[in-house]
Structure 1
Amino acid sequence: MNPTSATRSVDLNSDLGEGFGAWKMGDDNAILEIVSSANVACGMHAGDPHIMARTFSRAKELGVAVGAHPGYPDLWGFGRRELPFSATEIEQFVAYQVGAAKGISTYVGHPITYVKPHGALGNLSQVDETVAGAIVRAIAAVDRELVLLTFPDGHATRIAKEMGLRTCAEIFADRAYTAEGRLVSRKLPGAVLHDCEEVAARVLRMVHAGGVETMDGTLLPMEIGSICVHGDSPGAIQMAAAIRTRLTEAGIAIKPFA
């Protein structure tokens, strides 16, 4: 769904539940007051059953939609490193994580409605057909009613549609884009954006224009159904609030896509 249509709405999501045991990442309770969808870590790049249950429960209280946020089994690297798993291994660890999220969310009475791959796994699903196919097959095997939240122009979106799964196109508020529509590597300067008001203004421009602004200053047409603010970024709460305020003041409602 593109918010430039008559519905004038868009989803605002964040990656949450990314602590582990006694270790905390970000202020999930504060972010949940702002976003309309929460992507909850499933225990492999971050998260554990207790954090998942608390996050799903609080999202239920606030009317925030929830989804599984599976990543590479890589606590040490926070799921942001590309690891040499086979397609079958990826299918199995994604199915494992989606199943865990489905189980815990059902346990608290607020079932997941979508899946958003995390970090390196998600980035590869845009450009690597093997990885993308493994992710989509895993989702389909667990629950074909789940929506895939991912890049609008990647292999995962195409494969999901070919397999009859619903998709939602996501852009990133706080990340820079290359001229090809890929996220700029976090290893490069300027990859992550930090100024809340500048990011909010940029998001509004992109929503109105129906595309993303690239690092070279051009607009790349792209479907926008959901906007992600990373919950682990410094100033994430202020940034999410600024984006929500800027969009709602422009008459664009913040609503879950699923």
Structure 2
Amino acid sequence: MKSLTNYGKLSEQPPKLTIKHSWEQLVRFGWIQAQSCLFPVVIFASLAITKFLPLPLLPRYDWLLILFLLMQWWMVRAGLETRDELKVITLFHVIGLCLEIFKVHMGSWAYPEDGYSKLLGVPLYSGFMYASVASYLCQAWRRMKVDLIKWPKFYFVAPLAFAIYLNFFTHHYWLDVRWWLASLVLMVFWRSWVSYEVGGIRYRMPLAISFVLIGFFIWIAENIATFFGAWKYPNQAEVWRLVHVGKVSSWLLLVIVSFLIVATLKRIKGKNPIR
């Protein structure tokens, strides 16, 4: 990756690249990622603890909802998330919950445990798993001072995001056009880059690669979540199995939708320069 300063301008004297410096930058990058993943970490920890620890008074799904609501309140109260970021996260909660209700109705996966806070067979805590993706994007965006380079026009981005989200529903009744949509993503974002700062030095990478990387790590997280019983796919009803690698494509497209929404909202708010 090329060293950048001041939103993408190439540094005339980039720092000398040594093994020590590279390692220090990697540690800094990892620490920023860890801070940005606080909400997802709490979700995984809660799933693990509540799976093996007997809970009084309420079913497990209801305790998870209470824990996640308290965590969300604390993050805003402590200044780890802004009120604007909370609005984005709430939007993702609604989007994710709608998708969950439809997918459970279609038999794609299930929430077999009891709970008072279930809506049409879906526990309300499930929306927080989508909201946690938005939480990560918002926090990483802010902490690494993300800048988008050669971002496409709104009239390309908005219909593409809508089509990707719509395909999660329509492929049950019509063709699954995810690979056509993935091809469109490559075409639309072929010249787009994401620039970010680590330790006072700016780097950049093709936006499409960042989509793939985030989607892959969410697939790993999905395997952890299903292992701890967050939800179950039909082939996991009797015993846990690795989530099919083909699900990476689904998460990749969902990450793209998430990224496009966050980027568009930040552009509307005027808090992110897009060149």
Normalising TM by the smaller chain, what interval?
A: under 0.3
**TM-score if structure 1 supplies the norm length?**
0.26
Q: TM-score, normalised by structure 2?
A: 0.25
Rg comparison, structure with higher value: 2
Higher-strand-fraction structure: 1
Question: Normalized per residue, which structure has more helix?
Answer: 2
